[in-house]
Amino acid sequence: MRMNATRSRSGGAGGEMLEKLSLRLRVFLFFAALAVGVAGALILGLWVGYDRAGTPAALPGFVQAGLVAGFAALGLIVWVWYLFDINVARAIDILAGTIRARAHAEVSGGMDTAPARYLGDLAPAAAAVTETLAETRSALVEAVARETTRLSQEKARLEALLSDVPVGVLLCSGRHQLVFYNGHAVDLLAAGHAPGLNRTLFDYLREGPVRHAFARLGEAAAAGEPDLAADLLCATVTGARVLAGRMRLLDRVGDEAAPGYVLTLRDVTADMAAHARREALLDEVFDRLRRGAANVASLVAVQAEGGAAAVSPALADEAATLARAVVELADRHDRGRTEAWPLNPTRASDLFDSLRARIEGAGLTLGVEAPALILRCDGFALVALLGALAERLAGQGAHDFHLRLTDEPGPGALFTLSWEGPALGVGALDRWLDGPLEVGLADMTGRGVLARHGVEMWPGRDAGRPALCLPIREARVAGHRPPPVARAVVYDFELLGKAPAGAVAEAKLRDLTFVVFDTETTGLNPASDEIVQIAAVRLVNGRRIEGEVFDTLVDPGRKIPPASTEVHGITDAMVAGAPDIAEAGRAFHRFAEGAVLVAHNAPFDLAFLHRHAGAIGARFDHPVLDTVLLSAVVFGQHERHTLDALCHRLGIVIPEEARHTAIGDTVATADAFLKLMPMLEGRGMSTFTEVLAEVRRHGRLLRDMN
């Protein structure tokens, strides 16, 4: 079959056909032809001798001589072929693979020249070439490393900055593919699945508002106003969140058709809900007051014309209803007041630190007494308020300030700011509160800060000293401070200028998105065993994206045999409460959407997933590449193609603790695949189709190598 296909493609050109065959096969064919030739020559020679002898009785003698000579010649040829195959053809294959590993995959370290010891100076010469190559490279690498260190320090600073800003920041190409996102954006967008580089933004956000804003900016740029920003309001695809965004176009990169853009996002879901509730309340206020007032007015008109006795009970009833309505509505408004402002959980100790810094900055002293409470408040506003009050009090002779926070029965807490010096009257306090807190902050008054928190403030006494009391409506006891979460930014700016990859078959390998994955299982039989762990990483633009990792334990719904636990270390206790294969499979399918799947011995892992396609509700019909087969393509079929052997050849180290964990093996497979990619390209296979065609030639390879 394969030969036929090759012949029809090469149109009968024998030389070209031969070149496509592997070296070892060609050597074999050469010796086979030699054997046939020798046999032919022997038969012909004996036939001519027998014919000349003219004695028919000598025939058995000639046949015996021919058989003995023929077997001896054939034996010699097979023996020579065997030596040639082992010491020349196979040695050349191994040597070529080793050289290619050094040329394309930047494998370093000395070459093993033993298999090529019968090739004369070839192996030492190749070793010398690769050594020189390594030296040149290392000199270059050192020079590059110096510059890179400087640049990477700057890059790290910018990354830290962008990962810490409390808004979601996205950068998209003109085709709305994600090029950059920060950790906050992950929180905002990750309703269904976490964002991934080079995915379309519309996997996460509704399309309309984004396209509309993009079109508006495009028109503005065409009209000569490239610096405009467009504000938009946009829901996530699931509708779970409403986000307020601002879009700004980037400079056009390369020959891209449309410029990319920066999109900053803020969650306004709560704001929108609070706004809607306030609107509803306001509508209700007007409705109930208008009706009551109209009724009272009508009844009073009747009363004025002498009908007092008739309408008096009705009037009383209306007035009571109206009064009840006002009280109830005011109460609801009061409760909903704090919703209108973003009040964040703030550690009392953080707030005290800021306030102390501010007060001590003004040359005053502040003693503090703070239980471990978390307050729901606008910390900045509270510090501004208390700081401004302390400074004003100091202007009237107050000193030796002390701030105490006490937990109150119920959900609240109470600040008590006391001092040595003259007391402050409630009248003076109220007048201060009505004015701006600081020069230049005309629209931030003390009264405004109190209203934002739904509280009042009043003078009091604390341990015999004059004081100010400020309650906070919501406080809770603080737990341990959680460790800071690594909120990395994820990006690849090269995606900005990149043309779309188009159909997988014709796309360049480098332009494809790959999801490399590995599973751990209860055993080796895909027909009856179950998955206990799935891990995957994404490769975009020829790079492993550190921040895009899928890693989950899976509850197999059965006992894990101790022999399997021995291999991967996953116990029954670890998978208790983990998602089942249906849920984990769905999540993995979303993670792998639109990508080429890569695994080491992919048929094994895929068999489990295919078997559960029904429960998962999705088919894993992605294009697939198998690193076992790619290794065979690159290094030849005679080598071992286990993951360990492949990594060893490519100079990839799998940390011992990571070996046989799904994520450890996945990362190793991904790194191996990334090194195999330039080696495939070096051998003229740069599209998916070309790689697949070559892989199929090696398709007979055994598949029990995991």
Q: Which residues are catalytic?
A: 660
Q: Give CA–CA dist 469/462, Å, rounded.
A: 9
Please select the residue that binds another protein; options are 371, 460, 594, 603, rule is CB under 8 A: 460
Q: How far is the CB of 286 from another protein (least distance, A)?
A: 18
Please select the residue that binds another protein; options are 469, 478, 645, 701, rule is CB under 8 A: 469
Determine, following the binding rule CB under 8 A, whether residue 300 of this chain makes contact with another protein. Answer: no
Judge whether 358 and 382 are in contact, CB under 8 Å: no
Q: Give CA–CA dist 27/700, Å, rounded.
A: 20
Give the count of beta carbons closer than 10 Å to the beta carbon of residue 372. Answer: 13
Q: Which stretch binds another protein (CB under 8 A): 304-312, 355-363, 451-459, 691-699?
A: 451-459
- The 10 Å CB-count burial string (b at 16+, else e) for 209-230 is bbeebbeebbebbeeeeeeeeb
Please select the residue that binds another protein; options are 35, 326, 613, 705, rule is CB under 8 A: 326
Please select the residue that binds another protein; options are 135, 420, 456, 644, rule is CB under 8 A: 456
Structure tokens at 231: 């504000």
Structure tokens at 135: 């030296």
CB nearer another protein, residue 84 or residue 415: 415
Determine, following the binding rule CB under 8 A, whether residue 454 of this chain makes contact with another protein. Answer: yes
Give the x-and-dash track for 18-37 against another protein (CB under 8 A).
Answer: --------------------
Number of residues that bind another protein (CB under 8 A): 21
Q: Which stretch binds another protein (CB under 8 A): 314-322, 544-552, 579-587, 618-626?
A: 314-322
CB nearer another protein, residue 96 or residue 423: 423
Q: Which residues contact 252 (CB under 8 A, 6 or more apart)?
A: 258, 259
Q: How far is the CB of 461 from another protein (least distance, A)?
A: 10
Structure tokens at 191: 């309703």
Q: Which stretch binds another protein (CB under 8 A): 338-346, 422-430, 684-692, 696-704?
A: 422-430
Determine, following the binding rule CB under 8 A, whether residue 653 of this chain makes contact with another protein. Answer: no
Nearest to 292 by CA among 319, 330, 327: 319
Q: Which stretch binds another protein (CB under 8 A): 72-80, 208-216, 298-306, 419-427?
A: 419-427
Please select the residue that binds another protein; options are 36, 80, 125, 323, rule is CB under 8 A: 323
DSSP string, 621-685: ---EEEHHHHHHHHH-TTS--SHHHHHHHHTPPPPTTTTTSHHHHHHHHHHHHHHHHHHHHHTT-
Determine, following the binding rule CB under 8 A, whether residue 572 of this chain makes contact with another protein. Answer: no
Give the count of beta carbons closer than 10 Å to the beta carbon of residue 631. Answer: 29
Determine, following the binding rule CB under 8 A, whether residue 426 of this chain makes contact with another protein. Answer: yes
Q: How far is the CB of 427 from another protein (least distance, A)?
A: 4
Q: Which residues contact 698 (CB under 8 A, 6 or more apart)?
A: 629, 632, 633, 637
Please select the residue that binds another protein; options are 79, 82, 202, 458, rule is CB under 8 A: 458
Determine, following the binding rule CB under 8 A, whether residue 475 of this chain makes contact with another protein. Answer: no
Q: Is the dihedral of CA 451, 452, 454, 458 positive or negative?
A: negative
Q: Which residues contact 86 (CB under 8 A, 6 or more apart)?
A: none
Residue 452: HSE in the Cβ half-sphere, 13 Å Cα cutoff = 19
Q: Give CA–CA dist 587/550, Å, rounded.
A: 9
Q: Which stretch binds another protein (CB under 8 A): 197-205, 279-287, 320-328, 435-443?
A: 320-328
Please select the residue that binds another protein; options are 436, 459, 523, 603, rule is CB under 8 A: 459
Please select the residue that binds another protein; options are 110, 239, 395, 427, rule is CB under 8 A: 427
CB nearer another protein, residue 307 or residue 425: 425
Give the count of beta carbons closer than 10 Å to the beta carbon of residue 184. Answer: 23
Q: Which residues contact 493 (CB under 8 A, 6 or more apart)?
A: 171, 179, 180
CB nearer another protein, residue 49 or residue 425: 425
CB nearer another protein, residue 231 or residue 456: 456
Q: How far is the CB of 334 from another protein (least distance, A)?
A: 5
Q: How far is the CB of 374 from another protein (least distance, A)?
A: 21
Structure tokens at 218: 């495009």
Residues that bind another protein (CB under 8 A): 319-320, 322-323, 326-327, 330, 334, 425-427, 430, 454-460, 469, 471
